[in-house]
C-alpha cells in the first residue's frame, strides 16, 4: 500500500490551490536581489498593532534531536512561497510544505538516510531556491524543483508539489560535493545558504570550520546544472593560477597553500544581466596572516561573475589582508539608486565593521566615494599588514570604530572603572589594530557590526534598513607550545566568552593559536556604550542616517524582568513592506517587533516561544496578508530552543 504522505502529495496535485498574490516571497531575500521588501500593504502602520497568531506549525525537530544536538542547531530559515505552498527548511535539512492559509502540513522530504550523530556542528538551513524547467510537460514531476544543501555537504533537487526527489538530478535527486582536502574529524564543510539561480545553473557557496589550520579546504564556489546536477563551472576566491592578475597579491606563492575565502552567506543575482554577486570571506587563518602575505585579493570582496559561465567581470575588496575575521557576512542588496536625476544600478554591501559600501553593480566602481586610509601597524613577529584600508565616505559608519579607555561604559562608577582598566590592559589603538600577544580589542567584533541578516531595502523611500551589534571582542595570539594537532574545534557559546573563559582555536600551521572573548564588565555587561543592538535606517539618496534606535531589551538577562531597551546582539535580519512597517525578531529577548519605517518607533511587539534568530517574510493568500517567522533558537547565542513556524495576521 502506498505511504500516506505519498497519497496526500498525489491528492495535492488535484486540490484547488489558494490564490496567491503576484510578486510573492519566493526567494530568501524576497527576490534574488536581496531587498527583503514586499509590496503588500494590507498590514500597515495603522493596523499592525492588531496582529494576532493565525497558525503555528511545529517541525518536530526538538523530538528528533538529542539535547547536545539541540544546543548546536540554529533555526535560521526564511520560508518561501513556491507553487502555492509555504516551504520550510529545518536545521538538519528536512524540507516541509505547509498550506499558507492554515499551517497544515502537505508533505515532508527528509534527506537524513543516516543517523543524526552528535557531531553535527552548528546545523542550519537558511533557505531553499527553485527552478522552473521550461522544457518539461506541465504535469511532469519536477517541472518546478526546489534546490538546496544540507549539513552533510550534499545538495538536493525535489519536486515542489510532492517533495519527491528529481530522478534525473545526480544520484536519485542528490549530489555529494567533495572537499578538495582531506578533513580532520572536527572540520566541517557544508551548504547552509540557498543557491543562486541563473537560468539553468544553481550556484552554491559553503561554510567551513574556521581557525583549525592554515592549509584549509578551498572555499570554491560550485555551479551545477539545475537539471542534472553536473558541474558547470567552479570559482576559487583564492587565485591559484599564476596568470591570474590577483595572484600577485598573494606573496611567496601563498595562494597555493591557503584555504577558505568561501561564500558562507547568501549570493545575489541580477536576473536581467545574468550576473551573480559573491560576498567572500577571510582566508585561513582568520587572526594570523603571516603565512599568506599580501592583500589576498578576491578574499573579503564582492565578486561579480557571469552566472552561466563563471567569468569574472569585476571585484571590489572591502578588507585588505584580513586578520580580524571581518568576512563579508551578508547578501549584497541590488537596487536602483537615483543619482543626479537618473537611476544607477547599485549594489549595497554591509560589513561586520559597520561600513556600508555602495557600488555600481555593472562596473564595481563606488557610487559614494571610498578612501584608502592609514591604519594601525606593528603586528606580531612574522605578520604582514596592509598599511591602508578602504573606508566609504558615505554613508557614515553605523557602529563605533574602535574602543578606548575613555569610551568605557558601566551601569555604575565601579563597573565603568573595571571596564576602563580592562581596556587599558589590551591593545586599543583603533579598528584594524592587529591581533597581539597582550590581546587586541576588535571594535566592532568578529560578530559584527552587521552579520548574515544583512539589510532590507524600502524601495518606496530609498531606505536601507540594517541591524547591528555594538560590542567589542578581543583577539589574543598565543605562541605555539609543542604539538597541538589534537586540538579540536571548540563548542562556541557567545554568552560565555569572557576573559576568564576565552574560546581557543589551534590555527595549526601558524606560529600562534588564537584566544577570543568579549570585553565585559564584572556584572557581565558589555564595556561599550549601549544600545548594544541597533536598528538603523540609511537614506541611500544622500548617504545619511535617517534614524537609529535600540534593538532588543534586557528583560530575559536580568534577575528581575525589567524591559530595559538597551539593545542585544542579534541573529537574522529585517524585512520591510509597502505598508510602512519593518518586521524583525533576531534579538536575545525572544521578542518579535514591528517598527515604523519613517521614525523607527516600535508599533507592535510580541513574545515568541523560542529564539527568533531568523529573517521574517510575508505573503497574501485568499485576500489576507500573513507575516511568518521561524523561531527555534541559535547555537551561538544559546537562545530558547524550539521548532516553531508562526504566522500572524490582522484580526478580522
> Could you give the residue numbers annotated as active site?
325
Residues 6+ apart with CB under 8 A from 152: 93, 111, 114, 176, 190
Longest dimension (CA), the chain: 74
CB neighbours of residue 480 within 10 Å: 15
Kindly provide the b/e burial profile for residues 586-617, where b requires at least 16 CB atoms within 10 angstroms of the residue's own CB.
bbbbbbbbbbbbeebebbbebebebbbbbbbb
C-alpha cell of residue 307 = 552566472
Q: Which residues of 419-443 are buried (b: 16+ CB within 10 A; e: fewer)?
A: bbebbeebbbeebbbbbbeebbbbb
Residue with cell 597541538: 484
Whether 95 and 163 have beta carbons less than 8 Å apart is answered as yes
Distance of CA 242 to the CA centre of its chain: 32
Q: Is the dihedral of CA 203, 83, 43, 640 positive or negative?
A: negative
DSSP type of residue 27: B
Backbone angles phi, psi at 588, to 5 degrees: -80, -5
Distance from C-alpha of 274 to C-alpha of 73, rounded to nearest angstrom: 34
* 3-state secondary structure at position 62: helix
Strands (E), 59-150: 80-82, 85-89, 95-98, 105-109, 129-132, 144-149
Amino acid at each position: 500500500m502506498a505511504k500516506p504522505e505519498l497519497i496526500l502529495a498525489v491528492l495535492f496535485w488535484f486540490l484547488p490551490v489558494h490564490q496567491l498574490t503576484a510578486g510573492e516571497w519566493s526567494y530568501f531575500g524576497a527576490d534574488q536581489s536581496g531587498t527583503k521588501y514586499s509590496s503588500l500593504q494590507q498590514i500597515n502602520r495603522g493596523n499592525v498593532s492588531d496582529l494576532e497568531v493565525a497558525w503555528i506549525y511545529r517541525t518536530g525537530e526538538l523530538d528528533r534531536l538529542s539535547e547536545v544536538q539541540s544546543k548546536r542547531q540554529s533555526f535560521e530559515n526564511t520560508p518561501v512561497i513556491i507553487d502555492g505552498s509555504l516551504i520550510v527548511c529545518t536545521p538538519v535539512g528536512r524540507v516541509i510544505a505547509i498550506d499558507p492559509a492554515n499551517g497544515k502540513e502537505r508533505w515532508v522530504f527528509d534527506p537524513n538516510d543516516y543517523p543524526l550523530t552528535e557531531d553535527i556542528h552548528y546545523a542550519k538551513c537558511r533557505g531553499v531556491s527553485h527552478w522552473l524547467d521550461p522544457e518539461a510537460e506541465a504535469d511532469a514531476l519536477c517541472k518546478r524543483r526546489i534546490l538546496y544543501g544540507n549539513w552533510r555537504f550534499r545538495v538536493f533537487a525535489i519536486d515542489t508539489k510532492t517533495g519527491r526527489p528529481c530522478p534525473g538530478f545526480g544520484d536519485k535527486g542528490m549530489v555529494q560535493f567533495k572537499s578538495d582536502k582531506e578533513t580532520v574529524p572536527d572540520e566541517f564543510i557544508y551548504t547552509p545558504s540557498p543557491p543562486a539561480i541563473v537560468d539553468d545553473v544553481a550556484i552554491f557557496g559553503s561554510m567551513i570550520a574556521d581557525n583549525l589550520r592554515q592549509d584549509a579546504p578551498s572555499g570554491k564556489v560550485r555551479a551545477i546544472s539545475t537539471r542534472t546536477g553536473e558541474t558547470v563551472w567552479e570559482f576559487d576566491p583564492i587565485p591559484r593560477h599564476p596568470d591570474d592578475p590577483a595572484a600577485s597579491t598573494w606573496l611567496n606563492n601563498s595562494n597555493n597553500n591557503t584555504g577558505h575565502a568561501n561564500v558562507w552567506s547568501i549570493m545575489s543575482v541580477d536576473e536581467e544581466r545574468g550576473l551573480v554577486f559573491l560576498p567572500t570571506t577571510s582566508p585561513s587563518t582568520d587572526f594570523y596572516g603571516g603565512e599568506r602575505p599580501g592583500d589576498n585579493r578576491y578574499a573579503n570582496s564582492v565578486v561579480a561573475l557571469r552566472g552561466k559561465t563563471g567569468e569574472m567581470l569585476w571585484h571590489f575588496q572591502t578588507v585588505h589582508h584580513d586578520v580580524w575575521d571581518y568576512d563579508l557576512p551578508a547578501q549584497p542588496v541590488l537596487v536602483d539608486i537615483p543619482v543626479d536625476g537618473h537611476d544607477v544600478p547599485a549594489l549595497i554591501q554591509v560589513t561586520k565593521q559597520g561600513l556600508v559600501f555602495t557600488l555600481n553593480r555593472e562596473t564595481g566602481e563606488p557610487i559614494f566615494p571610498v578612501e584608502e586610509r592609514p591604519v594601525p601597524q606593528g603586528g606580531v613577529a612574522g605578520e604582514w599588514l596592509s598599511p591602508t584600508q578602504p573606508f566609504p565616505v558615505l554613508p557614515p559608519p553605523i557602529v563605533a570604530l574602535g574602543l578606548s579607555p575613555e569610551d568605557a561604559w558601566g551601569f555604575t562608577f565601579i563597573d565603568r572603572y573595571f571596564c576602563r582598566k580592562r581596556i587599558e590592559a589590551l591593545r586599543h589603538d583603533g579598528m584594524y589594530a592587529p591581533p597581539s600577544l597582550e590581546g587586541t580589542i576588535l571594535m566592532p567584533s568578529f560578530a559584527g557590526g552587521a552579520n548574515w541578516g544583512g539589510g532590507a531595502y524600502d524601495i518606496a523611500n530609498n531606505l536601507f534598513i540594517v541591524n547591528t551589534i555594538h560590542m567589542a571582542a578581543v583577539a589574543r595570539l598565543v605562541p605555539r607550545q609543542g604539538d597541538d594537532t589534537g586540538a579540536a574545534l571548540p563548542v562556541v557559546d557567545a554568552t560565555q566568552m569572557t576573559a576568564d573563559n576565552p574560546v581557543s582555536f589551534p590555527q595549526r600551521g601558524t606560529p600562534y593559536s588564537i584566544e577570543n572573548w568579549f570585553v565585559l564588565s564584572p556584572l557581565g555587561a558589555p564595556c561599550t556604550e549601549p544600545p548594544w543592538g541597533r536598528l538603523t535606517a540609511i537614506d541611500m539618496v544622500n548617504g545619511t542616517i535617517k534614524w537609529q534606535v535600540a534593538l532588543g531589551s534586557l528583560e530575559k538577562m536580568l534577575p528581575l524582568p525589567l524591559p530595559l531597551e538597551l539593545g542585544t546582539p542579534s541573529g537574522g535580519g529585517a524585512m520591510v513592506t509597502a505598508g510602512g512597517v519593518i518586521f524583525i525578531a533576531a534579538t536575545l529577548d525572544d521578542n518579535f517587533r514591528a517598527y515604523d519605517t519613517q521614525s523607527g518607533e516600535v508599533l507592535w511587539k510580541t513574545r515568541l516561544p523560542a529564539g527568533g534568530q531568523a529573517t521574517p517574510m510575508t505573503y497574501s493568500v485568499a485576500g489576507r496578508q500573513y507575516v511568518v517567522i521561524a523561531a527555534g533558537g541559535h547555537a551561538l547565542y544559546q537562545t530558547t530552543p524550539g521548532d516553531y513556524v508562526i504566522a500572524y495576521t490582522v484580526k478580522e
